[in-house]
Structure formats: C-alpha cells, structure tokens
Amino acid sequence: MVFQAGLYWIIDPLCGWSYGALPLMNRIAQHFPHQPILSGGLFIGANRRTLNPEWVAHVNEHDARIATLTGMKFGDRYHQMLLEDSTLMLDSLPATRGLLAAQRFAKPGEDLNYLNAVQRAWYVDGQNITQTAVVNQMLEQAISPGVKLEQITESEALESIQHARMLMAMAKGQGFPTAVIIDTDGQCTLLPVAQYYGQPDAFLALVKPQLTRIHR
C-alpha cells in the first residue's frame, strides 16, 4: 500500500493513551485539517478481553497517569462501568467500523469529530462503545446524517487495521497512539507524542514546519 505525504495518526478508540492524545490531534487539525486517522486494532480477535479485576486495576493505574499528564477527564460513570460490568468484552472492531464509515461516507474531517465523540462516550459518560447501537448513536451525533457502522464490513475493518499496522511497523512505532509524518519523498518521521501530552501548542510547533512544506 502506498501512503501519501502527510501526518498519520494510528490510534485505537479503546486506548486511553489515544484518548489522551485527542488535544494534540484537535490542535493539529485546526491548522492542517483532514490528516489520516488509522485504527490499529488494540482489541481484536484473540486480543479481545473481559474486564476482570486484574485488568481493571491495570487500566485504572494507566488512566490515572494519563489524566495527570494530559488533563483529560475520566468520568465517574466510566469507572462505574468498569467495576460493575464484568461481562463486558473489550472489542475495538465496532468503533473502528464507525471510524471507517465516517471517513468513507461523511464530510472530510468529520472522522475526528466522531473520534472525539466516541472516546468521550466511553471515557467520560461510561457508554459501551463495543455495542453497535452506541457507535451508531455517536455517528449520528457527531457527523453527517445517515452514516452507520454497518456500511463497513468486518473484513474491510480488519484490512484497514492491517494497513495501520504496516505503517506502524514502517515507522517503528511502539504502540498507540503512533504519529508519523510521511514526507513527499516517502521518508517516515516517527513523532515523540509521549513527550508532548498536555502540550498541544508545542506539538503544533514541532510539526508545523514539515507539514507546511508538505502542503504548500
């Protein structure tokens, strides 16, 4: 697959660190809209998991770090969901299909609106975004009417995830989120996202010269 020049975000809707990167993504989009967002499939296939007590403790530890570094809010209803629904299966595929539906059938840039909405639904409001109905509700709220996750098949979503993982491997990314700039000559630059959590203006200053040159 050929990746065009630009800034690529490789995220997962159920990844807390991807949620923590939303202020960076939103800030960049104000100056350089329509940068590609790829879902890397954190919880798919054999990697799906239920919310057992050990995993909830692991998640809570990371969430506390994310909140401290980024200032992003994790709501009471989210924490309540983690504690009360031990049958919940973490599955990235429904929200990924929603992202792809937004990219294919909505207006340019509305995929970021959807990502903001779906991650807020999970991390703040405690809504189960592994459910089709919830994802479709987020699509309806965030983007052009008439877009549904059912417009993207599971096989299409899995193929897109493979493309995301291919790019992550090319750039030597280590997890989610990974941010990569592909230059006009095809060279990949892996961006140090972890150093800029909570600093969207500084992150914009880092990438602005290269993106300005790419998009001039």
pLDDT digits (tens, 9 = 90+) for 147-173: 999 999 999 999 999 999 999 999 999
Residues of the chain with pLDDT under 70: 1
R_g of the chain, CA atoms, integer Å? 17
Residues near 29 by Cβ (< 8 Å), separated by ≥ 6?
A: 35, 109, 112
CATH number for 6-215: choose from 3.30.70.580, 3.40.50.150, 3.30.499.10, 3.40.30.10. Answer: 3.40.30.10
* 75 backbone φψ class: left, alpha, beta (φ>0; ψ -120 to 50): beta
Distance of alpha carbon 1 from alpha carbon 159, whole angstroms: 11
The phi and psi torsions of 8 (rounded to 5 degrees) equal -115, 135
Enumerate the domain spans of the chain.
6-215
- Looking only at the bridges linking them, the beta strands covering 37-39 and 6-11 are parallel
According to the model, what pLDDT value does residue 86 have?
79
**Which residues on adjacent β-strands are paired with residue 49?**
90
In one-letter notation, the amino acid at residue 135 is V
- Regarding pTM above 0.85, the answer is yes
The mean predicted confidence, pLDDT, of the chain is 96
Give tens-digit pLDDT for 25-46. Answer: 999 999 999 999 999 999 999 9
